[in-house]
Structure 1
Amino acid sequence: MTAPQGKRSTLDLIGNTPLVLLKGPSEAAGCEIWGKCEFANPGASVKDRAALWIVRDSEARGTLKPGGTIVEGTAGNTGIGLALVANALGYKTVIVMPETQSREKMDTLRALGAELVLVPAAPFSNPGHFVHTSRRLAEETEGAVWANQFDNIANRKAHIESTAPELWEQMGGRIDGFTCAAGTGGTIAGTGMGLKALDEKVTIALTDPHGAALYNYYAHGELKAEGSSVAEGIGQGRITANLDSAPIDTQFRISDEEGLEWVTRLLAEEGLCLGLSSGINVAGAVALGRKLVAQGKKDARVATILADTGFRYLSTLYNQAWLEAKGLPVFPWLAR
């Protein structure tokens, strides 16, 4: 009799996500564009990795005690990951989120048993910003720890130790370029650091949405934001602890319209239902692929992150009235 082949813990379901060749983006770039399917994590996003590493790090340092509470400020996906990890390990969660985020994320957090605190959207300099509010709640709550995903480098460690080696193995030990957007900075910095340790010649590119300040920072040395974006969970106006020393070789700025074009095409042509951050990542991967091909790497391989599922944005990105209100193109099938 052989032993069962399944996972021994539900937490073992986090990571080891599939990798898929994206046909349309590959044709557009003139080289291979691969997507890491992070929507296949239990919480349906890349943030499950950071959530698990942050909780395990807190346990190892002795700050999170049995029956304790995890408090975090998040655009939603990290909170969902933390709630699932906390449920599996016997902790409670308090999640602070801007009230501008999708209804699906709010409903999901409540359904998972998290205590949800909504605050008005505000700049980071405002004391009412969701990150500052979550820190204060953690300080005021007995037995609580603050996850602090933006400046807790257990976040990027998750990608150094899991995302990067997974990509390296899945791509047969050759990756010419990797790119994704930055929210906390953990994914781009950690995956970049991990890949550079395996091959220093891998080109790491930041894909930045409009309204964020990092494109100008890496291109010109100045934190300066231009324009705006409706993408949730990405875009940063400061150098977080996770972004500190990130090995960024080049950078691209991608508009919502460009990202939405790839969201539309990947759903209509390849059957992938994704969020806007994934569309922006794919647009950046196409730009990076074209750049590498122009540099003579005709057989370049570029990887990016398919960060979460589009099912999390049915009331926003996949809603005709919402798209029209934002001045964005409507999916053709929604306008029928």
Structure 2
Amino acid sequence: MWYNNILETIGNTPLVRLNTITKDIPATVLAKIETTNPGNSIKDRMALKMIEVAEKNGQLKPGGTIIEGTSGNTGMGLAMAAIIKGYKCIFTTTDKQSKEKVDALRAFGAEVIVCPTNVEPEDPRSYYSVSSRLEREVPNSWKPNQYDNLANSLAHYEQTGPEIWEQTEGKITHLVVGVGTGGTISGAGKYLKEKNPAIKVWGIDTYGSVFKKYKETGILDKNEIYPYITEGIGEDFLPENVNFDVIDLFEKVTDKDAALMTRDIARKEGIFAGNSAGSAVAGLMQLKDQLKEGDLVVVIFHDHGSRYMGKMYNEDWLRERGFLKDEKLTAKSILAKKEKLEIVTVDCEKTIVEAINTMNALNISQIPVTQKGMVVGKLAEGDILRALMENPALKSSPVKEIMSATFPFVDLNTSIDKISALINKENSAVLVEDEQGNFDIITQYDIINAISA
């Protein structure tokens, strides 16, 4: 048996039991592994459905351009379908999204425009607004608008919901889904509740998003909105695809818990899933007291871990945000083992001769250069030698005329691996900034001393 094109392989994704993370839950917990779709995410389903409905309605015409605001996965599904069907794609996304997602879209030949995250949806710079403007400007274009296009929910009503019902032989008691556009939870949840109204549908939200409070109070509270790191779930507005009547409750999960659970799913279950899976499982664990023996829970694993290699699967990224603390040495622990010495600097307005005298007196080869107390560069023996060989008269000139780029800055949570990588021929040290804005310095000697201590 073979398929006529890659689009025919969308759907029929497996259910896999979780065993280790959920061992303290009396219920059976199954993950719906949507990473087996050809675009490695559940968004393949709704992307194709939106295109098919638009073709049928005459909104999308031959040779047209698909323009959409996307966090990456919907764009992947649209781009894949566009290749098969002969359309062009332009996508807008936010600077919060992982580089891997943007690179993947470009790999499919799509044009990608990255927009700022921390602006209102109505702001002309937002990825919603930019995509709407492009739709008006580009001839023969169509914007799917995954948030308000009900073909999104329809895809999951027709496909995802029936698959889950059949795979669980109608025994499912709870559906747990991270909510972004709302299409998955609303479509699949609607189908399952029609089959059995007793099924509970739980939506996982993130802090900084409006869904939970709106469900509980009917109030869209702008004070609930603030930037968050978690990808793929949460919104600062109410998409039409979110059917609050279908969703029984929302549970909020922190960025930290979502990120660490994403990592745990790979390490403890052997499933390489994305950030929204981490949120969904973390939310389920917060709600575990509402489950009992005999319950059958299905959790949607939306996308693949390869799209988060620079984030949730990067230990330095986790440490820099204070999400991960382990036994590996960090800038903070290296400084704790270091002898406390006053950091010597030279002001950028001092003369080169004065800097030479300071370096000679202290027997040091490099020195940070400051301007009004802020580090703005560094001065090394090599910089001085090259400058004076070319023009000996420069020794009376200010340091700022020959200084080079400053030492790299790191924060207290930066790992010893990253610090070591930053120390090279050009940089004999790194600068560490603490929460108060004060700085210290770490040299290769300090690293060796910390390891051997």
TM-score scaled to structure 2, two decimals? 0.69
SS of residue matched to 1:28? coil
- In structure 2, the residue matched to 1:280 is 279
- Deviation by residue 1:283-319 (Cα, 9 ceiling, x = unmatched): 22334453132xxxx2100111111111111112222
Q: 1:331 to 1:270 in 2, by over 3 A?
A: farther
CA distance in 1 between partners of 2:125 and 2:226 (Å): 23
Q: 2:175 aligns with which of 155, 178, 184?
A: 178
Is 2:56 aligned against 1:66?
Answer: no
The offset of 1:250, in angstroms, is: 1.9
- In structure 2, the residue matched to 1:26 is 22
CA distance in 2 between partners of 1:81 and 1:220 (Å): 35
Q: 1:125 to 1:42 in 2, by over 3 A?
A: same
- In structure 1, the residue matched to 2:305 is 310
Relative to structure 2, which stretch is displaced further, 78-87 or 278-287? 278-287
Q: 1:330 to 1:71 in 2, by over 3 A?
A: farther
Percent identical across equivalent pairs? 37
Asked which structure has the greater CA Rg, the reply is 2
The offset of 1:332, in angstroms, is: 8.2
Alignment of 1:1-336 (within 5 A): 5-121=1-117, 122-224=119-221, 225=224, 229-293=228-292, 298-329=293-324
The offset of 1:107, in angstroms, is: 0.9
- In structure 1, the residue matched to 2:410 is none
Relative to structure 2, which stretch is displaced further, 68-77 or 121-130? 121-130
CA distance in 2 between partners of 1:35 and 1:275 (Å): 13
Bigger relative CO (Cα 8 Å, ≥ 6 apart):
1
Between the two proteins, the alignment pairs up a number of residues equal to 328
SS of residue matched to 2:291? helix
CA distance in 2 between partners of 1:227 and 1:94 (Å): 27
The offset of 1:226, in angstroms, is: 6.2
Amino acid at match of 2:161: A
Q: 1:146 to 1:46 in 2, by over 3 A?
A: same
Q: Is the contact made by 2:102 and 2:112 (CA closer than 8 Å) also made in structure 1?
A: yes
SS of residue matched to 2:236? coil
Q: 1:255 to 1:115 in 2, by over 3 A?
A: same
CA distance in 2 between partners of 1:330 and 1:16 (Å): 39
Q: Is the contact made by 2:147 and 2:241 (CA closer than 8 Å) also made in structure 1?
A: yes
SS of residue matched to 1:65? coil
Q: 1:335 to 1:291 in 2, by over 3 A?
A: farther
Q: Is the contact made by 1:231 and 1:256 (CA closer than 8 Å) also made in structure 2?
A: yes
CA distance in 2 between partners of 1:190 and 1:31 (Å): 24
SS of residue matched to 1:133? helix
The offset of 1:57, in angstroms, is: 0.8
The offset of 1:22, in angstroms, is: 0.7
Relative to structure 2, which stretch is displaced further, 103-112 or 19-28? 19-28
SS of residue matched to 1:26? coil
SS of residue matched to 2:149? coil
CA distance in 2 between partners of 1:264 and 1:10 (Å): 30
Amino acid at match of 2:308: Y
The offset of 1:146, in angstroms, is: 0.5
Q: 1:331 to 1:123 in 2, by over 3 A?
A: farther
Q: 1:89 to 1:268 in 2, by over 3 A?
A: same
Q: 1:17 to 1:215 in 2, by over 3 A?
A: same
Q: Is the contact made by 2:260 and 2:323 (CA closer than 8 Å) also made in structure 1?
A: no
- Deviation by residue 1:41-84 (Cα, 9 ceiling, x = unmatched): 11111111111111111101011111111100011111111101
The offset of 1:249, in angstroms, is: 1.1
Report the aligned-residue RMSD.
2.0
Q: Is the contact made by 1:192 and 1:246 (CA closer than 8 Å) also made in structure 2?
A: no
Q: 1:27 to 1:227 in 2, by over 3 A?
A: farther
Q: Is the contact made by 1:177 and 1:288 (CA closer than 8 Å) also made in structure 2?
A: no
Give unpaired runs (5+ residues) of structure 1. Answer: none
Q: Is the contact made by 1:256 and 1:276 (CA closer than 8 Å) also made in structure 2?
A: no
Q: 1:168 to 1:286 in 2, by over 3 A?
A: farther
- Deviation by residue 1:106-125 (Cα, 9 ceiling, x = unmatched): 11111110011111222213
Q: Is the contact made by 1:210 and 1:255 (CA closer than 8 Å) also made in structure 2?
A: yes
Q: 1:100 to 1:255 in 2, by over 3 A?
A: closer
Amino acid at match of 1:266: I
Q: 1:228 to 1:85 in 2, by over 3 A?
A: same
Give unpaired runs (5+ residues) of structure 2. Answer: 329-414, 418-453
- Deviation by residue 1:19-46 (Cα, 9 ceiling, x = unmatched): 1011124313221111110111111111
Q: Is the contact made by 2:44 and 2:74 (CA closer than 8 Å) also made in structure 1?
A: yes
Amino acid at match of 1:105: K
